[in-house]
Each structure stands twice: as structure tokens, then as C-alpha cells.
Amino acid sequence: MKKILTLIAALAMSSAAIAETTSVTMQAADGVTVYGEIYTAPGVPKSAPLILLFHQGGGDSRGEYTPLVPRLLDAGYNLVAIDQRRGGDRFDGENRTLAGVGDTKFSYCDVVPDLEAALAFAREQGFSGKTAAWGSSYSAALIFKLGVDHPDEIDAIIAFSAASGEPMEGCMPEQYSADITQPVLALRPSREMEVPYVPGQMELFEEQGHRTYIADPGVHGSSMLNEDRVGESTDETWSVVLEFLATNLAGGD
């Protein structure tokens, strides 16, 4: 009986456990080499829905998203994640794109070509399914511009703790949120509702017809889905995210 149970457990392993991870590079329009990963699961075609994953400031794609990838793969999504030129080692990872640009300084708004490079690269690689742009903190702000500029290629926007204010001058999400035609889900941890600009931003998104969600418990950015960083179950937030993705990326394969 023990052997049978062991066999059943082995057969029940998620597709994420044997997923394929491919490290890649791509060129941004201004010549910067952008590093990233493609994550795919066995049996999931390139016509399946795609999620473009963009990290928060001070971070890198692997450090922020490695804990989240298995659940997204299990849900049937292809994933492309990149290291943007604004980042660091906040989650004990290495931002390879940042290392490549050396001492060159970039604003948050200067990162938009990296996001566009990821979108173009995914298409070049044959990923043809409906596509969600997923951003965290400053990149959650930039995906609003990405959605407005590429309405025929981006099908959904999912923004975790979208940054605003002076650091985002010239590319604040509020500059583009009225013109977004795609479905939007904007998420915040409850404690960020005490930040002066946040309640107004969330109210504006709601007035514009975008969906909002307050995660309680939760932490900043996409890490509000990471139980180790939140310190409690994140299942409720995951349910909201996966339902939004399933509803708005349906029919991608």
C-alpha cells in the first residue's frame, strides 16, 4: 500500500515540478541587452495564454517570481519574466540587465523599452495566446502605458501596488488609466491604504471601471502572493488573481 501511495503522489506532481526554464536575452529599442526567463509546462502549447512578469524596484525577476511561477504554470499559463534595467538584489537575486548597463543611470520611465522588448520577444518566440501584463510597484505603473500603446497585443493588466508620484513623473499610471481599454485588476495590501496618494488612486481606478482589490494580509508588490513574505495564507488573494486571469485570458489556446 505504501508503494501505491508513493506512486500516486509521484503521478500527482504538478506540471510545474518538471517545467522547462530557459534563460534568454533580448534587445531593447535603445540597445540595452535585457535578460530573462521563459517558463513553460509540459503539454501547454505556445497558443495558450501568456503572462509577462515585471518586477519591482530594487529587485530581479527570479528573486521576485520564482516562488510564484509554479502556481501560474499549474493554471496553464506560459510565462516570460525579465530583469529590468532598474532593479537590484532585494530578494537575494541578481539583476543581470542592471549588471550589464554598469553605472548608467536610468529613471523608472526609461524602463518602458524593456517591457516592450519582452512583448516583442514573446511574439518572436511564437507565443500567440492572449497576453496579460503583470507589474509590481514601479513596473505596475509602466504596464498601464504598455497597455495603451499596445491595445491589440495586451489583453489584460494586473497591477500590484502601482507606484505613482514624483519618482514616476512622466509615466504615472493615472496618466494612462482613463485610456486603457483592457480589463484591469489593481491590487494593494491593506497597510498601503495609509499612504497619502493610494486611496485616491484606487478610487480613480474604480471610477474608471477598473477592478480593485485590497489584500489583507498583504505586502508590497507581487510579494503579496508569497506566503513566506506575507507570513500568512495568501490563498484568497491568489483566488482573485487566478479568477481575473481565467476570465480575461480565456480562449487563448
pLDDT digits (tens, 9 = 90+) for 153-197: 999 999 999 999 999 999 999 999 999 999 999 999 999 999 999
Q: Residue 7 falls within a domain, yes or no?
A: no
Q: Residue 3 falls within a domain, yes or no?
A: no
Strand bridging mode 78-83 / 131-136: unpaired
Question: What whole-number distance in Å separates Cα of residue 74 and Cα of residue 206?
Answer: 30
Q: Residue 29 falls within a domain, yes or no?
A: yes
Q: Residue 6 falls within a domain, yes or no?
A: no
Q: Residue 8 falls within a domain, yes or no?
A: no
Please state the pTM of the whole predicted model. Answer: 0.93
What pLDDT, in 10s, does the model give residues 216-243? Answer: 999 999 999 999 999 999 999 999 999 9
Q: Which residue has the cell 509546462?
A: 41
Q: Residue 107 falls within a domain, yes or no?
A: yes
| Sign of the CA dihedral with 90 first, then 172, 181, and 112 last | negative
Domain enclosing residue 157, as ranges: 14-248
CATH number where 21 lies: 3.40.50.1820
* Nearest Cα to Cα of residue 146 among 164, 128, 173, 170: 173
The confidence score (pLDDT) of residue 14 equals 47
Q: Residue 1 falls within a domain, yes or no?
A: no
What pLDDT, in 10s, does the model give residues 108-142? Answer: 999 999 999 999 999 999 999 999 999 999 999 99
Q: Residue 5 falls within a domain, yes or no?
A: no
Q: Does the structure show a pLDDT above 50 at 198? A: yes
Question: What whole-number distance in Å separates Cα of residue 126 and Cα of residue 68?
Answer: 23
Three-state DSSP class for 222?
Answer: helix
- 136, 111 in Cβ contact below 8 A? no
**Total structural domains in the chain?**
1
